[in-house]
Amino acid sequence: MINSISLTVNGVRRDIALPDPRVTLLDLLREQLDLTGTKKGCDRGQCGACTILVNGRRINSCLALAISHNGADITTIEGLAQGEKLHPLQAAFIEHDGFQCGFCTPGQIMSALGLINEGQAGCDPERIREGMSGNLCRCSAYAGITEAVLDVQRTLAAEKERRVA
């Protein structure tokens, strides 16, 4: 039996034949859809390098079987920038040097996006650190990561305040 699924990946609908049910979302993205921005660091949900958004929520794509996500709306690091215009999180990661080797960076940024969507952390650095702790960075660019997320949260909070006023 050849299974197939359809996914919306970065806004584009993709119909995908899945002859092998063992394929994870991570391996599907990397090996079949040529979306290699999402990284594999451990393949068992321990490092966060494979973080993507599925229906707006952040998940470890290495722990998700593709076949069980038929119909899902997926956002990966490749879907954030609009043409040449970087997403504010991407710009903030550069500005605050929130990475060194860059391998964990796509996962960090997607996780930060998920965290912001969750509305749990706000502008509290302690809660941002906690909320970003599923994403390891062996270079330990954590200070810059926290500053970058905080920067974007503050901008969002200021915008919200302006709208209310």
Partner 1 sequence: MTPEIRLTESPAHLRHGANIGQPLTRRDGILKVTGKAPYAADRHPRGMLYAVLAVSSIARGRVTFLDVAAAKSHPGVVDVMTPTHKPPLAEDPDAKTNPFMFRMELLQSDAVRYANQPIAVVIAQTLEAATEGAALLTPTYETLSARVGLDADESFVPPAVGPGHPPIVEHGDVEAGLAAAAKAIDASYETPAQYHNAMEPHAIVASWDGDKLSIDTPSQGLAWAQGRIAGLFGIPVENIHIRSPFLGGGFGSKGLISGPQILGIMAARLVGRPVKLVLRREHMYGPVGHRAPTRQRLRLGTDGNGLLTALEHHAKTVTSSFDDFYESAADASHTLYASRAIRTSHEAVRVDTGTPLFMRAPGEATGSIALESAIDEMAWACGIDPLQFRIRNDAEVEPISGKPFSSKALRECYTKGAERFGWWERPLSPRQVRDENGFLVGWGMGTATFPALMFQANARAVLRADGSGVMETGAHDMGQGAWTALAQIAADGLGLDIDRVEFKAGTSDLPDAGIAGGSAHTATAGVAIHNAGAAVIAKLADLATRDQRSPLFGAGNAGVIARNGRLHRRDDETRCESYADILRRAGLAEIEATGGGAADPVAQADYAMHAHGAVFAEVKVDPDLGQIRVTRMVGAFAAGRIINPKLVRSQLFGGMIWGMSFALHEEAVMDRRSGRIMNPNLAEYHVPVNADVPSLDVLTVDEHDPHVNPLGIKGVGEIGITGSAGAVANAVWHATGVRVRRFPIRISDLLMAG
Q: Which residues of 36-58 are buried (b: 16+ CB within 10 A; e: fewer)?
A: ebbbbbeeeeebbbbbbbbeeeb
Give the helix ranges, DSSP H, for 51-141. Answer: 88-95, 105-118, 125-131
Question: Can you tell me which of 118, 124, 130, 159 binds partner 1, judged by CB under 8 A?
Answer: 130
Q: Which residues of 86-97 are buried (b: 16+ CB within 10 A; e: fewer)?
A: ebbbbebbeebe
Residue 72 or 137 with smaller CB distance to partner 1:
137
Question: Please, what is the minimum distance in Å from the beta carbon of residue 101 to partner 1?
Answer: 3
Question: Please, what is the minimum distance in Å from the beta carbon of residue 93 to partner 1?
Answer: 5
Question: Taking CA 135 as the corner, what is the angle to CA 157 and CA 39, rounded to the nearest 5 degrees?
Answer: 115
78 contacts partner 1 (rule: CB under 8 A)? yes
51 contacts partner 1 (rule: CB under 8 A)? no
Pair 33, 14: CB distance under 8 Å: yes
Question: Can you tell me which of 6, 17, 20, 117 binds partner 1, judged by CB under 8 A?
Answer: 20
63 contacts partner 1 (rule: CB under 8 A)? no
Question: Please, what is the minimum distance in Å from the beta carbon of residue 164 to partner 1?
Answer: 27
Collapse the DSSP code of 128 into the 3-class scheme (helix H, G, I; strand E, B; otherwise coil) and give the result.
helix
Kindly state the number of chain residues that form the binding site for partner 1, as judged by CB under 8 A.
Answer: 59
54 contacts partner 1 (rule: CB under 8 A)? no
Question: Can you tell me which of 95, 118, 124, 159 binds partner 1, judged by CB under 8 A?
Answer: 95
Nearest-angstrom CA–CA distance, 121 and 80:
21
Which residues contact partner 1 by CB under 8 A? 20, 22-23, 27, 30-31, 34-44, 46-47, 49, 76-78, 80-81, 86, 90-91, 93-95, 97, 99-106, 109, 128-130, 132-146
